[in-house]
């Protein structure tokens, strides 16, 4: 039995990504992922409830967003608080050393409907986390929903640019995307 390793979750994700690229998501088993990572099936299931989940690393992103929004300066407007949350993502999750993994991961997700479905629900759940965090700042419900939707849109735009671009950091890309989304005059 493999012993617990501090980076087991990351090794499982890397092994899964390699195997999904080599053989396709459908043709890869949890046992193969665990073996490639030098771990056991039971270790896999200690980190992930199912095969789909291995490319979605746990609930840390949600906690990060909530923490950043709740702790934004009192005077910050809803979209300023959302911008702080996207900055926090850039500092801790979408870091330069994760760019290549993220680009490969996204290509695998885009090619598989099951994975796209899970990604879609994760996005809704993360938007809901932002709405809840904005609510804790006293932002009215509908305003929080609009701000979170616009933030999610800017996030998606910045993410696509970040994995394509090769050099720009996620945080500044997200700030720029959010500024452009804010400036859209669609309300007329």
Total residues in contact with its own copies, by rule CB under 8 A: 29
Distance from C-alpha of 121 to C-alpha of 131, rounded to nearest angstrom: 15
Residues 151-170 that bind its own copies (CB under 8 A): 152-153, 157
Residues 18-57 that bind its own copies (CB under 8 A): none
Spatial CB neighbours of 133, under 8 Å, sequence gap ≥ 6: 65, 66, 69, 70, 81, 85
Distance from C-alpha of 180 to C-alpha of 151, rounded to nearest angstrom: 11
Q: Is position 175 an interface residue for its own copies (rule: CB under 8 A)?
A: no
Closest distance of CB 179 from its own copies, Å: 10
Nearest residue (CB) to its own copies, 1 versus 183? 183
What phi and psi, each to the nearest 5 degrees, are found at residue 19?
-70, -40
Residues near its own copies, by CB under 8 A: 77-79, 113, 116-118, 120-121, 123-124, 142-143, 145-147, 149-150, 152-153, 157, 180-182, 184-188
């Amino acid at each position: 039995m493999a012993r617990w390793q501090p980076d087991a979750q990351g090794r499982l994700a890397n092994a899964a990504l390699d195997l999904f690229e080599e053989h396709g998501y459908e043709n890869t088993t949890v046992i193969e992922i665990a073996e490639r990572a030098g771990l056991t099936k039971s270790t896999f299931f200690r980190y992930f409830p199912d095969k789909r989940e291995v490319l979605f690393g746990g609930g840390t992103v949600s906690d990060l967003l909530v923490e950043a929004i709740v702790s934004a300066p009192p005077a910050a407007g809803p979209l300023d608080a959302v911008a702080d949350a996207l900055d926090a993502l850039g500092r801790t999750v979408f870091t330069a050393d994760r760019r290549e993994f993220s680009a490969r991961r996204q290509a695998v997700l885009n090619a598989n409907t099951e994975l796209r479905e899970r990604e879609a629900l994760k996005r809704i759940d993360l938007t809901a986390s932002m709405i809840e965090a904005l609510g804790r700042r006293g932002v009215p419900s509908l305003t929080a929903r609009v701000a979170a939707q616009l933030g999610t849109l800017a996030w998606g735009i910045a993410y696509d640019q970040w994995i394509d671009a090769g050099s720009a950091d996620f945080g500044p890309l997200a700030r720029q995307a959010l500024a452009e989304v804010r400036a859209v005059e669609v309300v007329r």
